[in-house]
Amino acid sequence: YEVDETRDILTSTGMPLQLEHRIRVVGRRPNEMWLRIQGDAADREFWLHQGKATLYDKYNKVFATRAVPGSIGQAVSVLTGTYDVDLPTAQLLSQDLERILLLDVVELYYIGIGQVSGEMCHHILAREEETDWQIWIHARGKQLPCKAVITYKRKQGLPSITSRFKRWDLAPSASSELF
C-alpha cells in the first residue's frame, strides 16, 4: 500500500510547520517487510527479513542493522518502542492488529459514516493516555483504512500526523530480493 502523510508540528520558535511524505509499504507475513519514506524531512528505506532489521536513512546519514523478534508486529514494536525508529503505519501489517490498536484505548466512539476522497467510510475516534486517534475504514468491499489521524496530546503544540491510504494490494507480487 501507499500513504500520503502530512505531519503538523510546532517549531522551536512556536511557528507551525507542515511536512509531507510519501510512504510505500510491502509486507509478506509473518516476517518480511519493506518500507520507503520520501519527502520534506525524510529519505529512508527499511527492510525486515527473517529476524533482521535494516535501516538506511539518507537524510540523517544513518545505516543500521539489528536482530529483532520474529513477526512484523513484534519487530515493529521493539524498533519503535526501544530504539525510537519511526516506521509510519507499519503496524498495519501485524497479525494481531486489533489487539495492538485497542491495547491502550480508554475511550472509543463510532462517529458514523463519512467521506474520504469520495469513498464512504466508517469513522472511529479513540482516546489513549498519550494520543487521540481517528481512523476511517472503507464501508464497502474490503474494510481497509482510508485515512488515519494521530494527535500527540503530551507534546508541545499538539503535533499530529494525517495518513491517507491508497493502492492497497493484499497479495503483493514482490520478489524476494526486495526484502
DSSP codes of every residue in the chain: -EEEEEEEEE-TTS-EEEEEEEEEEEEETTTEEEEEEEETTEEEEEEEETTEEEEEETTTTEEEEEE--SSHHHHHHHHHHTS----TTGGGG-TTHHHHHHTTEEEEEEEEEEEETTEEEEEEEEEESSEEEEEEEESSSS--EEEEEEEETTSTT--EEEEEEE---SS----GGG-
Of 112, 113, 104, 118, nearest in space to 150 by CA: 104
Q: Per residue of the chain (179 residues), what is the pLDDT tens digit?
A: 999 999 999 999 999 999 999 999 999 888 899 999 999 989 999 999 989 999 999 999 999 999 998 889 889 889 988 988 888 788 788 777 888 788 899 999 999 999 999 999 999 999 999 999 999 999 999 999 999 999 999 988 899 999 999 988 877 777 777 78
* Predicted pLDDT of residue 176: 73
